[in-house]
Structure 1
Amino acid sequence: MKVLIYGATGMVGQGVLRECLRAADVELVQIVVRRPTGIQHPRLRETVLPDLADSRTIEGDLTGFDACFFCLGVSSAGMSEADYSRVTYDLTMAVAGTLARLNPPMTFVYVSGAGTDSSEQGRTMWARVKGRTENALQRLNFRAVYLFRPGAIEPLEGIRSKTRMYDFAYRLMRPLWPLLRAVLGDRLVTTADIGQAMLAVARHGAPTPVLEARDLHAIAAAEAERTAVAGAA
């Protein structure tokens, strides 16, 4: 399987990248980034594109992929709806539109958020924009589109958020993670869970395109068990 990742330097993207590089059936992971990352791995290829919305100069590098894991995202705090739409809806659709044209057999996985408003009519700005993005993605000519809506995410293996506010909050919460795991149960997912769930839906599909935290937790657990059984066989 050949995998394309956008947002590989963010908190979720870092976790997804690690799971992809660990997966025996992933022969190539290509990341598209605004600036060089310095990450080295035999199965990793990096394409630097300062303007991620304009793929014209790299279209030759974007063909032949089985899946795209789109992990780009920003906080809506302090942003107008127009500005948030530009970096959420416009950017996502520019990338996805190009990939749907170049790779119709591709599975496209989009990291959205818990509480996304599919009606596009609700009072919460970010939820409306995410809902509009989800709806538009499902109309593209991909083999399949899956919309991940995690809520609380626990970063593992030293992964940190690029957003300063979020990173500060996660560091404050570190002593509370055991309690949160007990309280939230399968409503809490880890960065590894999200990566494993992405690989699972790319391999096997899922019964529904919209996947909430509990779904992601269950899919990741099932995939880990399937991998363990295959490894023991």
Structure 2
Amino acid sequence: MGKSRSENNVIITGTTGMVGEGVLMRCLNNPEINSVLVINRKPCGYIHAKLKEIIHQDFFDFATIENQLTGYNACFFCLGITSVGADEETYYKMTYTLTMHVAKTLVKLNEAMTFCYVSGSGTNENSRLKWAQVKGKTESDLMKLPFEQVYNFRPGFIKPLQNQKHAHKFYKYINWLFPIGRTIYSSGFCTMQELADAMINTLSHTNGRKILEGNDIIALASEPI
């Protein structure tokens, strides 16, 4: 269900990573996005008239910057770590605890906010895999918070945008697989543009509490804001 357009001021986390950077690039180039705030531990490397950046080290304590986090109607949460090489306690803290702290802070400060969370293909709270359980619990508990909307995105293989600074280096060696994978299993393969545009297009929807798999992301990306 659509809703009338309003001023869109968004917060993006994780812009020094591939997904967050891609979302940032699409937001900066989308005329329907009025302003963008990014929160990072180090500079993202972008300068733009509608971009503001806060360098903040402790994502478990936003007390000193809370006054700068009001007036936003969306958060595109792209921050996260890989489970590879991380012990269970660290992965849980950096995935579930950190995400929920940021979300609870933002929902307290901003009425009628849309929260988009990037988890990943295979996320399932009932999975035997610990990372999938943690991501699933994060999704579930985010949807219990009083946001106007919560969307959980579960992309698989993501083809980066051209000229991304923070794309994983191995993508340049395996991008040739994308058209083959898209043909055989479309839900497991989306472009960075589709993922970012789908997140932006959630702002034209109403009362969404949804889990979006690959084909859902592709479909939402094609809907006009």
2: CA distance, partners of 1:40 / 1:101: 29
Q: Deviations over 1:24-43 (max 9, x none)?
A: 12110010010123311000
* Unpaired runs of at least 5, structure 2: 1-7
Q: Which residue is equivalent to 1:131?
A: 136
How many Å apart are 1:44 and its aligned residue? 0.4
1: CA distance, partners of 2:157 / 2:206: 24
Q: Deviations over 1:83-130 (max 9, x none)?
A: 10011001101100100111131000000111111xx34310100000
1: CA distance, partners of 2:207 / 2:112: 16
How many Å apart are 1:168 and its aligned residue? 4.3
The match for 1:56 among 53, 63, 66 is 63
The reply on whether 1:198 has 2:205 as its aligned counterpart is no
1: CA distance, partners of 2:218 / 2:194: 6
- TM-score (normalizing by structure 2): 0.90
User: Which amino acid counterpart does residue 200 of structure 1 have in structure 2?
Assistant: N
2: CA distance, partners of 1:132 / 1:160: 31
RMSD: 1.7
Q: Which residue is equivalent to 2:46?
A: 39
More helix by share: 1
2: CA distance, partners of 1:62 / 1:15: 22
Q: SS at the partner of 1:153?
A: strand
* Unpaired runs of at least 5, structure 1: 227-233
The 8 Å contact of residues 26 and 196 in structure 2, kept in 1 or not, is answered as yes
User: Which amino acid counterpart does residue 94 of structure 2 have in structure 1?
Assistant: V
The match for 1:99 among 94, 106, 125 is 106
The match for 1:79 among 52, 69, 86 is 86
- TM-score (normalizing by structure 1): 0.87
Q: SS at the partner of 1:209?
A: strand
Q: SS at the partner of 1:50?
A: coil
How many Å apart are 1:179 and its aligned residue? 2.5
Match runs of 1:1-233 below 5 Å? 1-117=8-124, 120-159=125-164, 161=166, 167-205=168-206, 209-223=210-224
2: CA distance, partners of 1:29 / 1:98: 18
How many Å apart are 1:141 and its aligned residue? 1.3
2: CA distance, partners of 1:206 / 1:194: 20
2: CA distance, partners of 1:108 / 1:91: 15
Q: SS at the partner of 1:216?
A: helix
Deviating more after overlay: 6-15 vs 177-186: 177-186
1: CA distance, partners of 2:165 / 2:213: 22
| Number of equivalenced pairs | 218
2: CA distance, partners of 1:121 / 1:182: 29
